[in-house]
Amino acid sequence: MPDPRRATPRTDHVLADDRLQAAVTRLGPTLVKQAVVRAQELCRAGEVAPDEVADVAVAGLPAAATTMRRVLNATGVVVHTNLGRAPLSGAAVEAVRTAAGATDVELDLATGQRGRRGRGALEALAAAVPDAGGVHVVNNGAAALALVTRVLARGDDGRDTVVIARGELVEIGDGFRIPELMESVGASLREVGTTNRVHLADYTSALDDSTAFVLKVHPSNFAVTGFTSSVPARDLAGLEHAGRRVPLVVDIGSGLLEAHPRLPHEPDAAQALREGADLVTASGDKLLGGPQAGLLLGEAGLVERLRRDPFARALRVDKLTLAALEATLTGPVPPVRAALARSVDDLRARAHAILRAWPADLVASLAAEVVDSSGAVGGGGAPGVELPSVALSLPEHLAAPLRAGEPPVLGRTVRGRLLLDLLALDPAEDDALTDAVRRAAGAGTP
């Protein structure tokens, strides 16, 4: 019997296949060669015939030159941190494609001279928050707060202390903590009040010659209830020590630019500025519904100081982010806001339409039904707020095959059933959801 190792075609012969040559253009030579090598190994093991190596290599090619995969978000969490937070709108995706090539991101085409970087995105942000005298964008929300702290509390004027309520010393994702972030760029913190209660007098008594600014942080990823009190921004604005006005910085976190009817207790940038905040920091990839970015809004002179600081260069956003942010602000309603606007009646009608499209025997075998559900904002926004929703209820054992499918589908299990919640799922993905369930039902067994 011939040795299959000797019959295995050479790499250059396999790569000469027209399909693999086309894949090199799309994916690059490294990924294509890896697929060929895997196919050759199968051939050497006697599992693939020599004349099948090219076919197996083609079948083993990745769909794209990235390990990230598109996922159908049926969790009911609108801004899911593990799924990349806010999905971009179609307009934002198209803007990213435009920005991927050579662009005028930092060029004035009329004069041929250097222009203000990302002017379109900055103008759109300024128009969206007219209460802000100046705006700037950095690479994420934590970077925005770090830049403010470094510039205002660097200590070269003897002021390096930030006054903050003890109950607002928030830990954000992956174990990072706001106080440690601020201390890492040179600030000292002066905590006031207790975990559950703080009063205006606590702030005023903490001010001294070393105070750089007062910071108010919205605890967006947790809620303290019961015997509590906090001081609103309007009461902290204009605090003075020894005749000097102490700046007020408000970190709203979630990126809500104006009040939203379904989130009445979530602070927004416009209101914070109207109440007297000198600077507002926020994220762009949460309730704003755009790309990852840190937003800085406020008094024009302060914002310009931040923009001109050398540290700002290390936090600069790229052209793709600027393009996506501009399109999010000026384009159609982004997916996050669309999800928040969905009514239970519309979701229920969608769910029933999906079930009607399934074969009757599939519905019966899965005991599939439409059930009321409860979604969440997610992404560290609006803790405790339940968003009424509707889901498809399926057997729990389908969770694993659905995650392993293409595209993967993520739901959540509740009392032994898998719920595929429609709140965060774009209606255009309903057919893909149906196909995924059919495949998983054929592959999964209890």
- Whether 65 is in a domain gets the answer no
**Spatial CA neighbour of 291 closest among 107, 118, 48:** 118
- The whole-model pTM stands at 0.91
Same domain, 48 and 137: no
Q: Is residue 67, in this structure, part of any structural domain at all?
A: no
Whether residue 66 lies inside any domain: the answer is no
Residues 215 and 359 in one domain: no
Single residue among 286, 309, 332 that ends a domain in this structure: 332
The pLDDT value given to residue 172: 79
* 362 and 426 in a common domain: yes
Specify the residue for token string 């409860």: 374
- Domain annotation covers residue 150: yes
- Residues 121, 235: one domain? yes
Domain match, 106 and 38 both? no
Q: Is residue 226 part of a domain?
A: yes
Domains contained in the chain, number: 3
Please tell me the predicted confidence (pLDDT) of residue 446: 41
Buried b / exposed e over 135-162, threshold 16 CB at 10 Å, is bbbbbbbbbbbbbbbbbbbbeeeebbbb
**Is residue 206 located within the same domain as residue 309?**
yes
pLDDT recorded at residue 219? 81
Q: Domain containing 169 — which CATH number? A: 3.40.640.10
Per-residue confidence (pLDDT) for residue 444, from 0 to 100 = 46
Q: Does residue 320 belong to any structural domain of this protein?
A: yes
Q: Are residues 372 and 428 in the same domain?
A: yes
Domain CATH number, residue 352: 3.90.1150.180
Range of the domain at 362: 72-83+339-443
The CA–CA distances, whole Å, from 63 to 58, 66, 69, 83, 343 equal: 11, 8, 9, 19, 35
Amino acid identity for residue 171 in this structure: E
Which pLDDT belongs to residue 445?
42
DSSP-assigned states of every residue in 105-171: TTEETTTTEE--TTHHHHHHHHHH-TT-SEEEEESSHHHHHHHHHHHHSSSTTS--EEEEEGGG--B
User: Which one of 299, 332, 365 terminates a domain?
Assistant: 332
Neighbouring-strand partners of residue 108: 113
Residues 15 and 108 in one domain: no
Same structural domain for residues 168 and 291?
A: yes
Note whether residue 266 is domain-resident: yes
Q: How far is CA 187 from the centre of its chain?
A: 28
Cis-peptide into 407, omega within 30 deg: yes
Same domain, residue pair 417 and 289: no
Same domain, 125 and 51: no
- Clarify whether residues 17 and 141 are in a common domain: no
Token couple for 118: 């990302």
Task: Write the single-letter amino acid at 235.
Answer: D
φ/ψ bin of 382: left (φ > 0), alpha (ψ from -120 to 50), beta (otherwise)? left
Q: What is the DSSP letter of 414?
A: E
Continuous segment of H or E residues that includes residue 328 = helix 319-330
Q: Report yes or no on 64 lying in a domain.
A: no
Residue spans of the chain under pLDDT 70: 1-5, 220-221, 443-446
Q: Which of 332, 348, 364 is the last residue of a domain?
A: 332
